């Protein structure tokens, strides 16, 4: 299955939703590395690098930025070949996970997958990385597993947030999840922080998971609990993404994702038998496109009059200007699902907490390049972990990881 994109009662907007100004820097006090903005030039011309935090963070990942982005021959040469190859043929690390089911306020259920044994083996102040997969994705996906294993090998505690119905999570109410609803993430953040109050929390999201994470960081009061975050393959503008999914070969992804969503719904149809109202459950359960699914279920469930209204209100591009958490965004210029034209470049340039890196190729959740290509981790992973480790070092006042290194993760 091709992995990942977009997909209320809405949460009450916090004061972060309309901050008076963006002149205040992130709460995380980082040591300035260069004095003037937009002075960092030492990156390879194959990469686009910009953002208000450019001079603060670029030197941290200079090793990665100084190299050319060389896609792997054949598999990384075409955006569709790369997207499909990564989805079907990238290896999936074996990891023993321990599942925790978390009930939400509306009696719904999400699941958290932790690395088995870490609860008793890692100190309470070990930094935590919360992973948010793409649309219909979960802890079984290769890109999630690779990031999990890499972070864990550096001594981090890692947990995967599986949305309702994803990765075989139980569905206990006639409500799924959406690109606009932040309540489940808020519940997860509160739970994780209360469980490990001495640890710093970081987040990384892909595609729809990235869209939800960035919205949360710019909109909700709980964003203050994050010490740093990474957004990968973020569609940013779901209206544009929806437009592109209806064109040419992209229709294949549209049908594949719709099939994944309707497949989850079909497993739990009994919950929706007598739902009534404006719902069209047969349309959603037999969706040929994501729009069919959203028309039959999502937009009604979350209180929107139309799919277009739902998409317009679910764009993380609307909130990135308000992000006050150190944020690294990585995009591929040729992404067929998260269009390059949707990237809110100006808002990222004006936000002193954001850094954007755009690679010339990469497809969607592909990035078949680097030392681990073609079947190993995506090109992005080493950079992401170096970025997050720097934030943790600065936050904790150390220059080393805080946990014991794990040489291997048990299957």
Catalytic site residue from 7, 8, 180, 207: 207
HEC string for the chain: CCCCCCCCCCCCCCHHHCCCCCCCCCCCCCCCCCCCCCCCCCCCCCCEEECCCHHHHHHHHHHHHCCCCCECCCCCCCHHHHHHHHHHHCCCCCCCEEEEEEECCCCCEEEEEEECCHHHHCCCCCCEEEEECCCCCCCCCHHHHHHHHHHHHCCCEEEEEECCCHHHCCCCCCCCCCCCCCHHHHHHHHHHHHHCCCCCEEEEEECHHHHHHHHHHHHCHHHHHEEEEEEECCCCCHHHHHHHHCCCCHHHHHHHHHHHHHHHHHCCHHHHCCCCCCCCHHHHHCCCCHHHHHHHHHHHHCCCCCHHHHHHCCCHHHCHHHCCCCEEEEEECCCCCCCHHHCCHHHHHHCCCEEEEEECCCCCCCCCECCCCCCCCCCHHHHHHHHHHHHHHHHHCCCCCCCCCCCCCCC
Active-site annotation holds for 80 = no
Q: How far apart are CA 245 and CA 308, in angstroms?
A: 14
CA 200 to chain centre: 18
Active-site annotation holds for 335 = yes
Catalytic site residue from 55, 244, 292, 335: 335
Both structure tokens of 38: 């937009």
Active-site annotation holds for 207 = yes
Selection from 260, 93, 259, 85 nearest residue 168 by Cα: 260
Catalytic site residue from 169, 364, 381, 390: 364
Return the bridge partners of 158, or none.
129
Q: How far apart are CA 345 and CA 320, in angstroms?
A: 10
Report yes or no: 161 and 132 within 8 Å, Cβ to Cβ. Answer: yes
Which active-site residues does the annotation give? 207, 335, 364
């Amino acid at each position: 299955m091709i992995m990942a994109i977009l997909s209320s009662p809405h949460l009450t907007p916090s004061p972060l939703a309309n901050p008076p100004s963006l002149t205040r820097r992130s709460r995380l006090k980082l040591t300035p590395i260069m004095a003037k903005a937009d002075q960092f030039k030492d990156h390879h011309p194959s990469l686009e690098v910009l953002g208000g935090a450019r001079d603060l963070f670029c030197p941290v990942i200079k090793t990665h930025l100084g190299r050319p982005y060389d896609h792997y021959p054949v598999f990384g040469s075409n955006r569709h070949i790369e997207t499909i190859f990564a989805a079907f043929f990238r290896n999936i690390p074996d990891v023993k996970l321990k599942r925790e089911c978390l009930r939400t306020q509306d009696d719904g259920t999400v699941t958290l997958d932790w690395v088995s044994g870490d609860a008793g083996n890692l100190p309470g102040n070990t930094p935590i990385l919360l992973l948010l997969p793409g649309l219909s994705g979960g802890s079984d996906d290769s890109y999630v597993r690779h990031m999990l294993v890499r972070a864990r090998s550096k001594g981090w505690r890692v947990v995967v947030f599986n949305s309702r119905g994803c990765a075989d999570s139980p569905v206990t109410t006639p409500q799924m999840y959406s690109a606009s609803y932040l309540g489940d993430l808020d519940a997860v953040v509160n739970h994780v922080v209360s469980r490990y109050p001495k640890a710093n929390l970081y987040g990384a999201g892909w595609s729809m998971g990235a869209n939800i994470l960035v919205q949360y960081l710019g909109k909700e009061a709980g964003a203050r609990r994050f010490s740093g975050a990474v957004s990968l393959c973020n569609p940013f503008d779901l209206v544009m993404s929806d437009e592109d999914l209806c064109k040419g070969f992209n229709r294949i992804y549209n049908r594949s994702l719709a099939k994944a969503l309707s497949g989850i719904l079909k497993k739990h149809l009994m919950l929706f038998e007598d739902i009534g109202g404006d719902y069209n459950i047969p349309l959603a359960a037999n969706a040929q496109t994501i729009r069919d699914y959203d028309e039959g279920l999502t937009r009604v469930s979350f209180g929107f009059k139309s799919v277009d209204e739902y998409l317009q209100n679910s764009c993380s591009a609307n909130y990135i200007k308000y992000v006050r958490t150190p944020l690294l965004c990585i995009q591929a210029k040729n992404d067929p699902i998260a269009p390059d034209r949707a990237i809110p470049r100006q808002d990222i340039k004006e936000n002193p907490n954001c850094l954007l890196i755009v690679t010339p190729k990469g497809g969607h959740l592909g990035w078949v390049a680097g030392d681990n290509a073609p079947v190993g981790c995506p090109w992005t992973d080493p950079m992401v972990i170096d970025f997050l480790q720097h934030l943790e070092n600065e936050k904790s006042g150390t220059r080393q990881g805080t946990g014991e290194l794990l040489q291997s993760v048990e299957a």
